Amino acid sequence: MKKYTLKTYEVRKRGESTFTDYKGKSMQTVASRLFGKSKAIQVRHTYSTTYIVEYLKEYNSFLILAEIRRVQ
């Protein structure tokens, strides 16, 4: 996974309605704080949204764990 820092981004866990500010934290730190693990956590971009996902090897698919958005 790329090592980059969330400078102007907020993260919302799946199922939650509010975003949490993680400015200045690395993605590995955010993943370990939110989910207690970082081994299978990846960042995936779609056309309009960025997600923190976990790769499920047995299903060969991704489970969306959190959404990332830019702070305006």
This prediction's pTM: 0.64
Three-class SS string for 16-43? CCCCEECCCEEHHHHHHHHHCCCCCEEE
- Domain boundaries defined on the chain: 5-70
**What whole-number distance in Å separates Cα of residue 54 and Cα of residue 39?**
9
pLDDT digits (tens, 9 = 90+) for 44-68: 887 778 888 888 888 888 888 888 8
Of 40, 56, 43, 38, nearest to 6 by C-alpha is 43
